[in-house]
Chain A
Amino acid sequence: MRNMVQPILNRDLYVPAIDAWIDPSTPRPRAIITHGHADHARSGHGAVLATPETIAIMKVRYGEDCAGQFQSLPLGERLVMDNAVVSLHPAGHILGSAQVLIEAQGQRALVTGDYKRLPDRTSEAYEKVDCDLMVTEATFGLPVFQHPDPKDEIARLLKSVADQPERCHLVGSYALGKAQRVIALLRDAGWDKPIYLHGAMIRLCELYQELGVPLGELLPATGMPKAAMAGQIVIAPPSAIRDRWSRRFPDPVVCQASGWMSIKQRARQALVELPLVISDHCDWRELNQSVLESGAGTIWVTHGREDALVYWCRQQGLEAEPLALPGLDDDGGEGGE
């Protein structure tokens, strides 16, 4: 990298060879978007390049005209431009999520966006990509994060439902990605009753189903008589589960599905009675594994606990540095996952 006249990728994730930014936090003439979460996909860009699913998600969330124009690039296809080749590779994070690979000047730079390696039928499976420079997220970049099997977490939820049939279980889940994954996990665990949704979830769940991810029978949570909701499961955004909105349910058990929930003190702060450790990101070991498998000699770490991962990469003899990118949710507040 050092000897090059022009870098293949700048530290603000600008790609000089094609004059485009990756996941920019302010409106730009040309943007490549890794996935549809709000801290990565914003409205107001001139032209957006993304997977067809991500484009569909952006249009649902921000409106048909949230960017000047859209160009869809299916996963695995190579877009050959004058000075560079761009391709998108599955990141396993949510539906449509992609890692961005830039090939130019004989170098390969990969921006992972958010990614996870555990299997998830609502998202294309993560694919490892060889590269020279890797820009990796580090949302769960501390060795305290060792994500359990999500099937076990769903089993705990179903046990709680069975043990307390008079109560309603309210599962706080981010509306895009997490909600659909929790629903899919519940279905795969045999829960075939209707699942009730907060209004903020409905359109995105429909979109998932339109894009070929079956989620079973979903009903709006509002408008049901209180008594009928005993023993039921409701999916709602984390901000709604402790809100006045939740008072319509009988003695609700406040649950939350998030990687942060492994820390009990976090769960207590959020007044979560049943924390479900279900994450859409890699845990520490998976981050380590991904860095090593990429073959990259240079690692830029962003989005989370950079210090620890940078330290670990350097211990492995890799060049590593933290990137401070604006606008990314640094501490997993509500919806940060």
Chain B
Amino acid sequence: MKRFADLLELLALTPSRTRKIAALAQYFAEVPDPDRGLALAALTGEMDIRNVKPALLRDTVLAEVDATLFALSYDYVGDLGETIALIWPHHGEGELPRLSEVVDILNRTSKAELPRVIGGMLTQAAIHERWALVKLATGALRIGVSARLAKTALSEMSGVDVQEIEEVWHGLKPPYGELFAWLEGRAARPDIDHTARFHPLMLSNPIEEGDFAKLDPRDFSAEWKWDGIRVQLVLGKDGASLFSRTGDDIAASFPDVVEAAMGRAVLDGELLVGHDFEAKSFNDLQQRLNRKVAQGKQMAELPAFVRVYDMLFDGDEDIRALGWEGRRERLEKWFAKNPQTRLDLSEVLSFGDWDDLGRLRRMGADEHGHEGVMIKLRTAPYVPGRPKGFWFKWKRDPNVVDAVLMYAQRGHGKRSSFYSDYTFGVWKGNEIVPIGKAYFGFTDEELKQLDRWIRANTIQAFGPVREVKKELVFEVAFDSAQKSGRHKSGVALRFPRINRIRWDKPANEAARLEDMDAFVG
């Protein structure tokens, strides 16, 4: 466990990416199976220790530490793992067992026994081992290491291209014995059924104003950018799966789509809800997403469908190396051969030049649930990750409103100790009513200034929340506004973010609730 804790600490504190990769590669090369595979699972978010949840850890600590002191400490530290590591009051002798044994113990201990077992481990561990233990057990590392970085280190260690590792990754499970065997040249590449698993998605980059001059519109195709969730529909020989963009199988929530799909392929598209392929709002989709298992009534009211825009496998054939045009042709042919009731084809927009497309982008967005356009290079192969120059998103301009900061709350993770979560509101008569909450859109430097302003202008504190003088105006950008019973104002914003901090603007010039009516569709 010590070796793993040392690695996590180094990863958390070393700013250099190269050094992080070197440390990971060294760890993977030196530590035996299955420990290194379990560490890899923890780093890539694939570790699941079923019975250990944050609440259980908290209860374990609260049996030994005063609840008020714990709450004050957690608020200050901003990270549950760190709080527990630092506050645990007992120090014992001895050493924690190796990583695999720790995982094994946590997995086979009964729920009732876990607090005692975990308490014993916390006592035995050095402080940074406690920190690592809690992070391992809850699966939330928050140390600024992505799954991609871990795979890059595997590539560094073995010389195998990282793309090849990504390719097999989703068919493998911890502790990844076959993966390491392959990477070390002791075994063949793991044999994975290519049509029965998730394939990493190709993502787009936002287009910048300056890009247009460099891009010839004739080289590109355009489609609406739909406001649903990105999915991959895998129609394999043993049935269908529906994956979210992170590779979680959400088929159980959408049996109406999965059971109705015909044919064999791996498809890329947008999951939406609505009758007759007429997309309803994201809010409606949200109601379906919130259910782990679909209910009949909901499925009748909000039937789901997938608007397909790309094809990775045609039957068993991997067609990702084809250009977009070639894949589109195969996709259209496939649709002709396999009639569908819950899948349709994303429309290709025709346009002359960029100005033309710019006008299209603003058209009809609110009625039809799209949020701009996608621009795709006609010759681009399907490349997982976020390759440059292939796919661009061109969102329509956001709505903005000037709102007044009301409350601030400390952030977590990297922003712990800074007041970084803001609730803001607009005028309703002589009072200000909240319309939303945002925690990004500002730079680190602005965060420091805001933090200072909040500390200096607090009028009341409720636990971790500070109420501030109603003096600071934010220009808040948001995608849309909806009526909401949950907010005192009756309005809720979708995807709000701080566009600008209006240090210059007096609060009495902020928006009024009446102004919001114009945005509520």
Instruction: List chain A positions with a Cβ less than 8 A from chain B.
Output: 142-146, 148, 262-269, 271-275, 305, 307-308, 311-312, 315, 330-331
Contacts and interface: CB of A to CB of B under 8 A. Distances in A.
Interface of B: 9, 12-15, 65-66, 68-70, 72-73, 76-79, 82-83, 86-87, 89, 127, 131, 144, 413-418, 455
A305 B86 CA distance: 16
A144 B13 contact: no
Contacts of B12: 264, 268
A312 B69 contact: yes
B456 to A, nearest CB: 11
A241 to B, nearest CB: 12
A308 B65 CA distance: 13
A265 B72 contact: no
A148, A264, A273, A274, most chain B CB atoms within 10 A: A264
Given A143-B89, A265-B417, A311 B15 contact: no
A45 B164 CA distance: 71
Given A264-B82, A268-B414, A273 B69 contact: no
A146 to B, nearest CB: 7
B414 A269 contact: yes
Contacts of A308: 68-69, 72-73
7 contacts: A264-B9, A264-B13, A273-B15, A275-B13, A308-B68, A315-B66, A330-B455
Contacts of B86: 144-146, 262-263
Contacts, number: 75
Contacts of B13: 264, 267-268, 272-275
Contact of B72 (A148, A263, A266, A305): A305
Given A143-B89, A273-B15, A265 B73 contact: no
A127 B72 CA distance: 30
Q: Could you tell me the dominant secondary structure of chain B's interface residues?
A: helix
A143 B69 contact: yes
A263 B14 contact: no
A289 to B, nearest CB: 14
B65 A143 contact: yes
A305 B83 CA distance: 15
A323 B13 CA distance: 36
A144 B83 CA distance: 7
Contacts of B70: 143
Given A144-B82, A263-B86, 7 more contacts: A142-B76, A143-B65, A269-B416, A272-B13, A305-B72, A307-B72, A308-B72
B487 to A, nearest CB: 30
Contact of B69 (A146, A264, A311): A311
Contacts of B455: 330-331
Contact of B14 (A142, A262, A264, A273): A273
A117 to B, nearest CB: 18
Given A263-B77, A265-B413, A272-B13, A144 B87 contact: yes
A142 B68 CA distance: 11
Given A264-B13, A264-B131, A272-B13, A142 B413 contact: no
Contacts of A267: 13
Contacts of B87: 143-144
A265 B69 contact: no
B417 A305 contact: no
B521 to A, nearest CB: 40
Nearest to B142: A265
Contacts of A305: 72, 76
Contacts of A330: 455
A38 to B, nearest CB: 18
Given A144-B87, A145-B86, A263-B86, A268 B144 contact: yes
A265 B15 contact: no
Nearest to B418: A269
Nearest to B15: A271
Given A271-B15, A272-B13, A312-B69, A265 B414 contact: yes
Q: In the A-B complex, list the 8 residue pairs whose CB atoms are closest, starting with the nearest.
A: A144-B86, A144-B73, A265-B416, A308-B72, A144-B87, A142-B73, A143-B87, A143-B69
A49 to B, nearest CB: 32
Contacts of A266: 416-417
A144 B76 contact: yes
B73 A263 contact: no
Contacts of A146: 86
B69 A142 contact: yes
A265 B82 contact: yes
Contacts of A268: 12-13, 144, 414
A146 B9 CA distance: 18
A19 B130 CA distance: 52
B7 to A, nearest CB: 14
A244 B379 CA distance: 45
A263 B12 CA distance: 12
A143 B73 contact: yes
A271 B65 CA distance: 31
A265 B416 CA distance: 7
Nearest to B8: A264
A198 B14 CA distance: 24
Contacts of B15: 271, 273
A143 B68 CA distance: 11
Contacts of B72: 142, 305, 307-308, 311
A148 B126 CA distance: 11
Given A143-B69, A144-B76, A265-B79, A331 B417 contact: yes
B473 to A, nearest CB: 25
Contacts of B414: 265, 268-269
A330 B452 CA distance: 11
- The interface centre, meaning the residue of A263, A305, A311 with most chain B CB atoms within 10 A of its CB, is A263
Nearest to A142: B73
Nearest to B72: A308
A264 B127 CA distance: 11
Contacts of B416: 263, 265-266, 269
A15 B415 CA distance: 41
Q: Which residue among B9, B76, B415 has the maximum number of chain A CB atoms within 10 Å of its CB? A: B76
Nearest to A272: B13
Nearest to A145: B86
Contacts of B65: 143
A324 to B, nearest CB: 11
A143 to B, nearest CB: 5
User: Which of A262, A272, A308, A315 counts the most chain B CB atoms within 10 A?
Assistant: A308
B210 to A, nearest CB: 30
A262, A269, A330 pick with most chain B CB within 10 angstroms: A269
A271 B16 CA distance: 10
Contacts of A272: 13
A152 to B, nearest CB: 11
A325 to B, nearest CB: 15
